[in-house]
Amino acid sequence: MFNTIFPKIHKEGYKFLAISIIATFFVLLFSKFLGLILILLTIWIYYFFRDPDRFSINDDNYLVSPADGVITNISEQVGPVELQLENTTFTKVSVFMNVFNCHVNRTPLSGKVEEINYKPGKFFNASLDKASEENERNYYKIICEKTGEEIIIVQIAGLIARRIVCEVEQGQNLKQGERIGMIRFGSRVDIFFKNKKTLAKLGQNVVAGESLIASI
């Protein structure tokens, strides 16, 4: 119950939370009004960097959502040129995270991280199509240990995001729903897959590591 109300926070939030608490303390000495504003900001920082435990289905016949947020795109598209997959057609599902969503990202299935490719870029609104090619982004190719199929995850920084955090390494084995990183302050995550039935719906709110995106 306690962990539900007060979930642990991601280590990326320690610095921001400490600065906000210290600033709030000193401002309260001079202005209760401004101090109240900073108290609310501190609560929001804690909320933004929350990192609650999630419980995946643990069945690689399914793909779980890599992010919290809303499904904004479901389409057939070629794979990322950054991974030399521009001649392969995938189903692409996009999850947009606003500043109130949990921003910790997770792997949709169990498998091995075959490739990671980081691309610096701009910071357009992550909901725009051009963000896929121009924004800061990080690509993961994960090979399912059970079936040998590959899926692609793309973290895309958004309008006010300024850092993509990768917490896994090439060659690392992951379990379904395991944390792979996070994006700070509003962003998008795309997942590319083949030969599966899409279960997600446009406009659906999904939970990272738990909501089902696709199945065999």
Strand order in the sheet with 212-215: 62-64, 212-215, 197-198
Give the tokens for residue 195: 């030969």
Residue 151 pLDDT: 93
Question: Residues near 14 by Cβ (< 8 Å), separated by ≥ 6?
Answer: none
Q: Which top CATH class is 62-215? A: mainly beta
Residue 153 pLDDT: 96
Residue 70 has pLDDT above 80, yes or no: yes
Q: What are the tens digits of pLDDT across the range 32-57?
A: 888 899 889 888 888 778 888 888 88
Nearest-CA neighbor of 101 among 187, 178, 159?
187
Residue 63 has pLDDT above 90, yes or no: yes
Say whether 19 sits in a helix, a strand or coil.
Answer: helix
Helices 32-48, 14-28: crossing angle, 10 deg rounding: 170
pLDDT band at 186 (very low <50, low <70, confident <90, very high): low
Domain boundaries, given as residue ranges, for the chain: 2-48, 62-215
Question: What length is written for the chain?
Answer: 216
pTM of the model: 0.85
Catalytic annotation on 187? Answer: yes
Active-site pick, 20, 65, 110, 187: 187
Q: What are the tens digits of pLDDT across the range 118-170?
A: 988 777 766 667 777 778 899 999 998 878 889 999 999 877 656 788 999 99
Residue 118 pLDDT: 92
